[in-house]
Structure 1
């Protein structure tokens, strides 16, 4: 799964995480200020935020683009020399482009949040007597600023999704080539054709969905946590707990951690059942395929037994998903009003304007949804884990590891078959 696309996967992924963390920490601990040496200093602490797309070619952003490119090229150069790989342009530079475009998309969301403050404050002034405090031209101008930012977001989104789709198919191509180069050793494993064709396709699709969501969640946290910390200055009290430092940040962390732990505990059995489901389906399908060419295979008693296994596993899966979905639905519905609940004392005291309220709700939602990555993606994660287990068992043959019992039973049965193909 990984060695076909990445150079020395374990070491590569470890160094990627370490290098990324080092680059982020260096950026926040002084890297931003280095831009001043090249005429690209960070924004002053008391500078008014830039509202609109102009922020993306401001001096701090231009310095970030240069910094990101240098960090990527250093990492790419090291691996290109240390362990050259035929897919290194896609696996390294392609991954870097996805990180950059995802981060840019998040920064567009930050720009939209900056726009919300003055725009909704203007709405509040327009709705408050006396009439005519805000001119229609000002409102149209505010809407136009939003549209321009939104068009930028649309462009980045389309380009990112297009590139990610090609990136994932390249990964699938690498896996397919790797497995087919070892086909003589792999062909006797249960469902070998399905694992090469269907599982690699489903694996790449799941990685596309979950991987981009994970990267976006991390980037959103990096971008919006400082925003939420800054907005916390407008919120002095929370229900029950009262006044605490950085109340919005603490509340989002606590609420997201609660949801993650809740669903991880409630759904702990689902990955194993999904894995088992793929196995019983594969066994049933395999027998039917044999029955197409051999009249002695796919006999009614055998087919009935195999389908009974399918039926039993599906019914167990439905039962466990039932109470999991109850817990997930309750949590997600409560999440829709949680931000309003913690803001009740602040709203009732009239300590924030309508614009600040919109900024808080958006930033809180962004941070909470990022921390709720497992909550929102758990069904897809379950599917990916089950696919990974099938492919990992598949690869055990190449590495000389012991196969799971069901795979061993199939090999023994195939050995007794005069025509296992």
Structure 2
């Protein structure tokens, strides 16, 4: 029977000692794993800055304090389990001995322990999710910032091994990383502490067992450790392929999802071609790969989970089998027998932590690989060459610029070019000569370049043939990349009217997918309106009027020249009518050759 008059004091001492040992042990183990193992280094790369306090920033201590609080609750939970086990022994022994006073005291103690356990579970649930949500917010911000910095999100397609589905890695893997880390780490600490605590109980309850004439002391403890350690070794061997299969599952599902998204985004073109059969064939091929990998997971998990269930069933009866002869001989009480079963189950469960969690750990390793792989790809993308860009007070200057295809074939060689503010240049050439690629090189988006590009210090705008419109309101689409409240309402409405989109003024604050709502011609006019609002120092127009008639094209270019007389313009296009709006031209002749000269402006312009 527990002496509750002194148990509270012993519990406090136990909590203090166990907490200190767990904190030190977790720190030492964490340092070793982060330095000696690949997954440990991956973890620290992703999480280290979050848990490292920064001088002068009090809020940076909060994550570490929250972890220490969760660690305390883990230790406290183990102590509650020990107290409940000891109280259960007293309760069943009182039943055996028909001792009502002791029985009812044990029931009262059970009620108090149950209330404390419920309160602890509620608090732990809240604190755990508080930590996970904050950590996910921080990690998401770090990964997204890294992906967007240095235009890695775009330039990543040019590295030797581009990563697949970066959006899925950011959305799903960041969430899995934060939640799974907390579950695995606290689960490991809880398992180790439970192992030590209930091994002590099992040691006290165990007795000698004769096996073939040999007396095995403390047999229950030895059986528990030997059986579970051997079972765990086999489980790791069976479950090892799950790491690769889980990685492939994420990759193949993301690829299939992306293929479906492409069909949705290009539905009109597919319908016009009547390409449903081809699309269905491609989708079914990708889905077949998903199913094949899923079956591989099923068969591997069938072996792994079946093995785990078998081991769990055997564990559930071992303690009773070993202790039953001692109970029948009167060496232990019924309470000792039931506590032996409970303690054995806790010891076996703790030793089985890696066996039971191996599947989760396999998925966790795949998550680490995918996230750090994205960061590595971002770094490689930023390391790709770009034209050296130095700031100028005005105009555009290009010195000795070479532009290549990915295979090394020259598109433009030793280009020297200078534009003063307000000067307009038209880039011409046959299809495939590198006109758009040259513009990408000048904008810093094409990595196969060499040379020096000096651009204005102010804003530079690139207008593509298919203008990009962000998700959100129409107002945010026309002001992009500036905030939607950066311009007064009357200025936005005026620009819409200037580009002959006045009928959209009443829809400025409506949220739609404007990329699909507006026609190609309307999107191109909206892009010109964006230029008028932003008033950049330099504009690149890449086939930006291909969906417009020549009259509208001339009117929009004239509007830009009238409203933005100090803006330099570089245009790419095939139409002969574009010459009337530009003073100079650059003609790409192929194989790196080029020529430049003046254009005679049409009097009508």
| Same structural fold, with TM-score higher than 0.5 when normalized by the shorter chain | yes
Q: How does 1:137-176 map to 2 (within 5 A)?
A: 137-176=101-140
1:300 aligns with 2:280: yes
Counterpart CA distance in 1 for 2:239 and 2:282 is 33
1:281 to 244, 249, 253: 253
1:352 to 329, 332, 347: 332
2:234 to 262, 272, 296: 262
| Offset at residue 151 of structure 1 (A) | 1.1
**Secondary structure class of the residue paired with 2:97:** helix
Task: Provide, for residues 109-168 of structure 1, a one-character-per-residue CA deviation record: whole Å limited to 9, x for no partner.
Answer: 111122123222111111xxxxxxx34x54323211111111111111221121111111
1:169 to 1:242, Cα distance in 2 relative to 1, 3 A: farther
| Offset at residue 81 of structure 1 (A) | 7.4
* Contact kept? 1:195, 1:390, Cα under 8 Å: yes
* Contact kept? 2:82, 2:197, Cα under 8 Å: yes
Counterpart CA distance in 1 for 2:186 and 2:7 is 25
1:112 aligns to what? Answer: 84
Task: Provide, for residues 178-223 of structure 1, a one-character-per-residue CA deviation record: whole Å limited to 9, x for no partner.
Answer: 0121122246442111111111112223234333322211221232
1:92 aligns to what? Answer: 64
* Contact kept? 1:228, 1:364, Cα under 8 Å: yes
Higher strand share: 2
Counterpart CA distance in 2 for 1:72 and 1:106 is 15
* Contact kept? 2:91, 2:102, Cα under 8 Å: no
1:355 to 1:60, Cα distance in 2 relative to 1, 3 A: closer
Say what the alpha-carbon RMSD is for the aligned residues. Answer: 3.5
* Contact kept? 1:217, 1:373, Cα under 8 Å: yes
Greater length-normalized contact order (CA 8 Å, ≥ 6 residues apart): 1
Q: Mind listing any 5+ residue stretches in structure 1 that lack a counterpart?
A: 1-47, 127-133, 402-410
* Contact kept? 1:117, 1:358, Cα under 8 Å: yes
1:354 to 1:152, Cα distance in 2 relative to 1, 3 A: same
Q: Mind listing any 5+ residue stretches in structure 2 that lack a counterpart?
A: 28-50, 157-162, 382-405, 408-445, 447-464, 469-605
More displaced, 374-383 or 326-335?
Answer: 374-383
| Offset at residue 68 of structure 1 (A) | 5.1
Higher helix share: 1
Larger Rg: 2
Task: Provide, for residues 218-276 of structure 1, a one-character-per-residue CA deviation record: whole Å limited to 9, x for no partner.
Answer: 221232222222223xx111655842343232221112112211211122211211111
Counterpart CA distance in 1 for 2:305 and 2:124 is 31
1:315 aligns to what? Answer: 295
1:263 to 1:170, Cα distance in 2 relative to 1, 3 A: same
2:12 to 40, 49, 61: 61
**Secondary structure class of the residue paired with 2:215:** coil
| Offset at residue 354 of structure 1 (A) | 0.8
**Secondary structure class of the residue paired with 1:243:** strand
| Count of aligned pairs | 346
More displaced, 111-120 or 192-201?
Answer: 111-120
1:121 to 83, 93, 109: 93
* Contact kept? 1:239, 1:344, Cα under 8 Å: no
* Contact kept? 1:51, 1:114, Cα under 8 Å: no
1:248 to 1:400, Cα distance in 2 relative to 1, 3 A: farther
2:594 aligns to what? Answer: none
| Offset at residue 367 of structure 1 (A) | 1.2
Counterpart CA distance in 1 for 2:229 and 2:64 is 32
* Contact kept? 1:238, 1:345, Cα under 8 Å: no
| Offset at residue 85 of structure 1 (A) | 7.5
Question: TM-score, with normalisation over the residues of structure 2?
Answer: 0.52
More displaced, 366-375 or 245-254?
Answer: 245-254
Counterpart CA distance in 1 for 2:287 and 2:264 is 17
Q: How does 1:17-32 map to 2 (within 5 A)?
A: none
